[in-house]
Copies of this chain bind each other. A is one copy, B any other.
Amino acid sequence: MAPGNSVSGPSRQLVFSGCRELYRPSAMDATEFRNFGKAAVDYIADYLENLRDRPVLPSVEPGYLQELIPKVAPQEPEKWQDVLADMERVIMPGVTHWHSPHFHAYYPTANSYPGIVGEMLSAGIGCIGFSWITSPACTELEVAMMDWLGKLIQLPQEFLNCSDGPGGGVIQGSASESTLVGLLAAKQRTVRRVQVLHPEWDEATIKGKLVAYSSDQSNSSIEKAGLLGSMPMRLLPTDDKCRLRGTTLEQAIKSDQEKGLIPCYVVATLGTTGTCAFDCLEELGPICNKEDVWLHVDAAYAGSAFICPEFRHLMAGVNYADSYTFNPHKWMLVNFDCSAMWLKDSQYLVDAFSVDRIYLKHRHQDRAPDYRHWQIPLGRRFRSIKLWMVLRLYGVEGLQQHIRRQVGLAKEFETLLRGDSRFEIVTETSMGLVCFRLKGPDTLTKKLHDRLMARKNIYIIAATFKDKHILRFAVCSRMTESRDIQFAWEEIRGQAEQILLGNDADDDILVHNCKTYSRLKYNMIRNDCPSNGLKINGTANGQA
């Protein structure tokens, strides 16, 4: 390409005027972006403000989208107006609306206006802050925000970046990643320790003996971290309140030690996924410290509540932990991904991860945390901007208000359930989560869930508690209000009534289209229909 043939920037018309080979502008310019971006802002605001009007669950069958778009990418650029219009035509029919006031499944995932603008600004700057020099602001704002956040939940001083010790905080992509990172640091520390005790063992021998522990109520990502990190993860039984107790851990550790194995890593959960139970940190902590086992605390969901003093007693024992995680991207209004992780001693992590090549060196590297050694990927987005936006634009009081409000709405739902003797609440209502079932055999609760899922007016999911089928009702959306709690209750109560009255005739709406889905190939296709008791007659429910 000859000098002068530049094609970007606002001046391209000038540059190209008179060029022999005429330039056809294929890229969006800044003026178009201003229009497109502002239209997208309006689209997002309209979408979120009117979410209550959309069914929370989509009515599409697998493969729906492939019918709506071409099989190959377009040769020529399209108009942004057409692409934006396709958000409604192609995407929205297949969206499960996580921010609908009627979404009560899993746990909340955060979405807020300040969080969205944070994402925008982060994308606009588009730096990859894997070391200090690759954008000092990216590292330093993260250092500062992790301290703001750590102070807000009154984490012990030694976890903070501003402390004198080797501790500090970092933003990870997810709690899964935090758990895995904790495991790898734990492995590093234990191998080092055991090498001193047993110089005759090589590293592979030691690693082959390491064991990790969590409870049978911990998130599936904990088990996955064990798989990924090649460390057996024992899922220990919990007490009648779904809590992991000290004696259970103590016995498991002892039993493994007797087999010649080396306990290395414990993941305690504050707010389990199933029932939002809190492991007994004050029992587990001293055992871990005594046995030199790394204690990681996963407070992914419930951790946000600790910004309110009245919930902070639930994190008692955090002083025993070696690492601590909670996800502002769950319940603290910071858009996914933003998993906050603190370590008391980051050196084990840095040792486990450090791989230095000359092209990563820069002159400040000894004076700032190179966060690439604190995480699995090399690249990292400027995620602290959204944390900064949310903390400043809500303020501590606004965030506390959000937590308290959602806890209040869960209490409201609990009160409605308690007023109907056909239902039972199976665990204490905890934070924004209520676990319940229909009294009687599991089939009733299963039927109720199937009906709710087929009707798509609210989205709740099932779990097991003491071998019983239960339903989890979580207050998720920041837009959920009292009227939505009433709406959900009416939906649940009404469907339960139909089932209890034996009105199974209209279960035709629950039909499940099980014809082999052959247009698209998925690696897990099976031609059989999951035998979940639903009637089968080949058509999807009425909304399809």
CB contacts under 8 Å to B, within A29-60, are 29-30, 32-34, 36-38, 40-45, 47-49, 57-58, 60
Asked if A132 is at the interface (CB within 8 A of a chain B CB), the reply is yes
**Bound form: Cα–Cα A458–B178 in Å:** 36
A300 to chain B, nearest CB (A): 10
**Bound form: Cα–Cα A249–B253 in Å:** 43
A160 to chain B, nearest CB (A): 9
Contact B113 A358 (CB under 8 A): no
Number of residues of chain A lying within 8 A (CB) of chain B: 202
**Bound form: Cα–Cα A73–B363 in Å:** 31
Asked if A239 is at the interface (CB within 8 A of a chain B CB), the reply is no
Count copies of this chain in the complex: 2
Contact B136 A1 (CB under 8 A): no
Asked if A506 is at the interface (CB within 8 A of a chain B CB), the reply is no
Contact B38 A109 (CB under 8 A): no
Given A28-B393, A140-B66, A121–B87 Cβ distance below 8 Å? yes
Stretch at the interface among A5-13, A285-293, A317-325: A5-13
Q: For residue A66, which residues in chain B have a CB less than 8 angstroms away from its CB?
A: 140, 143-144
Choose among B49, B144, B379, B391 the residue that contacts A336 (Cβ–Cβ < 8 A).
B379
Asked if A27 is at the interface (CB within 8 A of a chain B CB), the reply is yes
**Bound form: Cα–Cα A228–B485 in Å:** 45
**CB-based nearest B residue for A361:** B462
Choose among B41, B58, B163, B524 the residue that contacts A41 (Cβ–Cβ < 8 A).
B41
Asked if A429 is at the interface (CB within 8 A of a chain B CB), the reply is no
Asked if A500 is at the interface (CB within 8 A of a chain B CB), the reply is no
Asked if A221 is at the interface (CB within 8 A of a chain B CB), the reply is yes
Q: For residue A234, which residues in chain B have a CB less than 8 angstroms away from its CB?
A: none
**CB-based nearest B residue for A12:** B481
**Bound form: Cα–Cα A163–B520 in Å:** 8
Contact B94 A109 (CB under 8 A): no
**Bound form: Cα–Cα A5–B117 in Å:** 27
**CB-based nearest B residue for A224:** B355
Contact A377 B49 (CB under 8 A): no
Q: For residue A48, which residues in chain B have a CB less than 8 angstroms away from its CB?
A: 30, 124
Given A38-B41, A113-B36, A479-B8, A71–B126 Cβ distance below 8 Å? no
Stretch at the interface among A262-270, A403-411, A418-426, A437-445: A403-411
A174 to chain B, nearest CB (A): 4
**CB-based nearest B residue for A83:** B392
Contact B221 A90 (CB under 8 A): no
**Mind listing 19 A-B residue pairs with CB under 8 Å?**
A1-B405, A1-B412, A8-B478, A30-B49, A33-B44, A37-B117, A41-B120, A47-B125, A65-B140, A76-B395, A78-B393, A83-B388, A96-B135, A98-B125, A106-B134, A119-B119, A176-B376, A366-B526, A367-B517
